[in-house]
Amino acid sequence: MTPFDTFVIVDWSGGNQGSARPKADAIWACVARGAEVLPPVYLRHRQAAEAWLADTIAVERAAGRRVLAGFDFPFGYPAGFAAVVAGSAEPFALWDWLEARVEDSPAANNRFALAGEINRRFGGQGPFWGNASRTDVDGLPRTKATYHNPFPERRAAEDRAKGAFPLWQLAGAGAVGSQAIMGLPVLNRLRRRFAPEVAVWPYEPLDVPVALVEVWPSLMVGPAPEGWIKDQWQVHEVARIMAALPPARLADMLDVSAPEEGWIFGLGFEAE
């Protein structure tokens, strides 16, 4: 595998448009090339983030640079979910299924309604839970009090990653489920837009110019120093750390087999 030249790390959000002023729990991105780490970029909503990502990848490719883009949400679900919902255990079948059904704008999206629709297939008490909207959603429990999950609670990666949250949780501190529902359609469009130059880890061989990789900043980054927003700090540090890895060591870390559920970059290499 030839070395990557550029690392683009993105902290995602499943919510609606953020404020004009940079804040936490919004979308942040950072680009690193070798020892150079550019200032993190604040992106108010997913539409702006998708446009920024497309432009950034296009610029890097036009310059002949190989790109690794990391995103802090799960690329796959626990075993069995994709086959039941999308009709195939192949992860991109589920990406296609979600892209066709997710409705998104800066001011609103249908993530809770879609989760409720999925839950109603299984009796209306799971696998998803956590409704942060003001309106009750048929089939989507607000809490785990009446929750029932017909699938495994966690992926193998979450079982191994201390502190990682199951992606069935859509709301509340640490929840990542909304980010996945709202993020996978964006990755699916980027994958299609830059085909055949893009591959998704760990589902496809990374023998093309652009790699999309799942990251979890909390695995490798500590608390933010004074003056930094947590998400701003995390994308900066993850980009810096990954760009500094020797290419052979990075290749070792990317040598993973998880063909359905996906994996979190760096598991098993936490000491580094």
pTM assigned to the model: 0.97
Taking the alpha carbons of 60, 99, 167, 158 in that order, is the dihedral positive or negative? negative
Q: What's the CA gap between 109 and 121, in Å, rounded?
A: 21
Q: Which of 170, 76, 185 is nearest to 116 (CA)?
A: 170
Local structure of 25: helix, strand or coil: coil
| Residue type, position 105, single letter | S
Q: Which residues contact 186 (CB under 8 A, 6 or more apart)?
A: 46, 49, 50, 53
Query: Which class in CATH covers the domain with range 6-74+183-253?
Result: alpha beta
* Separation of CA 138 from chain center: 26
* DSSP β-bridge partners for residue 37: 32
pLDDT per residue of the chain (272 residues) written in tens, 0 to 9: 679 999 999 999 999 888 888 988 889 999 999 999 999 999 999 999 999 999 999 999 999 999 999 999 999 999 999 999 999 999 999 999 999 999 999 999 999 999 999 999 999 999 999 999 999 999 999 999 889 999 999 999 999 999 999 999 999 888 999 999 999 999 999 999 999 999 999 999 999 999 999 999 999 898 999 999 999 999 999 999 999 999 999 999 999 999 999 999 999 998 88
